[in-house]
Amino acid sequence: MFMNTLKTGFLMLMLIVLFVIAGQALGGPRGALLGLLLAGGMSFYSYWFSDKMVINAYHGREVTLQNNPELYKMVQRLANNAQLPMPKVYVIPERQPNAFATGRNPENAAVACTAGLLELMDSNELSGVIAHELGHIKHRDILISTIAATFAGAISYIITILPYFQNNSRNNRRNNPAGTILIALLAPMAASIIQMSISRKREYMADRAGAEFSGNPLYLRNALKKLEYYSHNISMSKENPATAHMFIVNPLSHFDKLKNLFSTHPSTQDRIQKLEKMAKERHLL
């Protein structure tokens, strides 16, 4: 918990530094001040409204005991197993089976499943996936994960507005072409490094927690096999690289050409092997 809190503070600081440097390079002292204000506002918003920010981006619909009692009761049972407060539950209208958790702490958390996940998983596999997401909540990964998404999204925004500053550099003597080029080259790499440094280890930890909360490592093992297959064969309608690391498997895996270098997730095969090892230790395999 302490390390995740430390990492979250570090990411917020890096976000502020990045925007100040970018603002200075693109607009001088006034640009640096604007960057500071923007970064501060984004950090505040992502901390207090991270769950709503991501859920709304994917058009999530809240699940209640009335409109989907089976899913609601499953999450409730698994949350009790994990000794967690009942999170909010959402379904997002995507055909690709996938899921993620978000929020700032266990008391203000949300779990989101795609419609495809509910259609293509059996009840045991679904419980394994949801238990995995509750593992992220239990380990307090959810805030740092969303802050990282904000960081990556901010970098994408900076890259988007760079051409505007480049086209107007003749009318702005304070514009720094060298700084603009450096930001364009290094910012996307920084976003990728930050995302994958957060994601890989936490996925293994959430897998182990998910196996414990669901009661059987093979539930999640079987789900991961399906998720890996479908992630390569069904595309997300809303493809957002900034939030890819939040999902249980990379929803953009068909773009992941340099898997070993820039993947936001550990190898699914490695995750399956670790779950099978757990199952053998419990004499379930």
* 3 has a pLDDT exceeding 80: no
Q: Which residues are catalytic?
A: 133
Question: Which residues make Cβ contacts (< 8 Å) with residue 175, sequence separation at least 6?
Answer: 26, 27, 165, 168, 169
Predicted pLDDT at 135 = 96
131 vs 211: CA distance, rounded Å = 7
* Through-space distance between the first and last CA atoms of the chain, rounded to whole angstroms: 33
Query: Does residue 132 have a known ligand-binding role?
Result: yes
* pLDDT bracket for residue 161 (50, 70, 90): low
**pLDDT, average across residues 8-12:** 66
**Can you give the pLDDT at residue 153?**
65
| Other C-beta atoms lying within 10 Å of the C-beta of residue 142 | 30
Please state the rounded mean pLDDT for residues 243-252. Answer: 86
pLDDT, mean of residues 5-27:
69
- At 179, is the pLDDT very low, low, confident or very high (cuts 50, 70, 90)? low
Measure Cα distances from 79 to 96, 134, 144, 210, 231 in Å. Answer: 24, 7, 21, 11, 27
**β pairing state of 88-92 and 109-114:** parallel
Per-residue confidence at 256, pLDDT binned at 50, 70, 90?
very low
pLDDT band at 143 (very low <50, low <70, confident <90, very high): confident
The whole-number pLDDT of residue 155 equals: 66
Six-digit token string for 95: 């055909």
Please tell me the predicted confidence (pLDDT) of residue 82: 97
Instruction: Give the pLDDT score at 47.
Output: 73
Question: In this predicted structure, what is the pLDDT of residue 252?
Answer: 81
pLDDT at 13 over 80: no
* C-alpha–C-alpha distance, residues 231 and 250, integer Å: 7
pTM across the whole model: 0.79
- 203 appears as a binding residue in the annotation: yes
**pLDDT surpasses 50 at 187:** yes
186 pLDDT higher than 60:
no
Instruction: Note the pLDDT tens digit of each residue in 53-107.
Output: 889 989 999 999 999 999 999 999 999 999 999 999 999 999 999 999 998 899 9
Confirm or deny that 59 is annotated as ligand binding. no
pLDDT at 257: 47
Residue 261: its pLDDT value, please?
Answer: 45
Higher pLDDT, 157 or 229: 229
Q: Residue 203 pLDDT more than 70?
A: yes
Output the average pLDDT for the chain.
80
The share of the chain scoring above pLDDT 70, in percent, equals 69
Using the structure block, give the residue that is written with the tokens 């994601």: 199
pLDDT at 236 over 70: yes
More confident residue, 24 or 157: 24
Residue given tokens 């925004």 in the structure block: 157
